[in-house]
Amino acid sequence: MSRIQVHKVHVEFGDCDPAGIVWFPNFFRWVDAASRHFFRACGVPPWFETAKSHGIIGTPLVDTRASFQRTASYDDDIEVHTSITGWGNKSFEQTHRIMRDEVLLAEIVEKRVFASRHPDDPKRISAVPAPPEFRALCE
């Protein structure tokens, strides 16, 4: 079982649509931030450091799916509970459960890869296996 990291978010007025409901792309923005905060909390250095030490420039998103259960609104305090729920050869699955108190608002599952610059064309990126020490920190 992977560790679970909690990223706290305070919903602002500008996060909502005219009906006062959080506009759904904001959930993806918060989940993207929670993904990086997860790695930092596990002890994985910032990407600008891993680029120098391991050639890893980040963990781009390659697939996602979302299930929205309840709405959130202005002035809500919510939490994004993030864990890695599966490891592949060059990819991993990260699950984000967005909660308000004990109420599940949404669940977003992402498939991400560890990425390096492509060896033949530095304008491109390539998926690479997760460094074993990074994986150990996250489990």
Show which residues are catalytic. 17
Distances (CA, A) of 103 to 55, 68, 69, 86, 122: 40, 12, 9, 24, 45
Name the β-bridge partners of 98.
Answer: 80, 106
Q: Please give the full DSSP string across 103-130, using - where no structure is assigned.
A: EEEEEEEEEEEEEEE-SS-TTSEEEEPP
Query: What does the radius of gyration of the chain's CA atoms come to, in whole angstroms?
Result: 16
- Cα separation, 131 vs 83, whole angstroms: 18
As beta bridge partners, residue 62 has none
Specify the 3-state DSSP secondary structure of 92.
Answer: strand
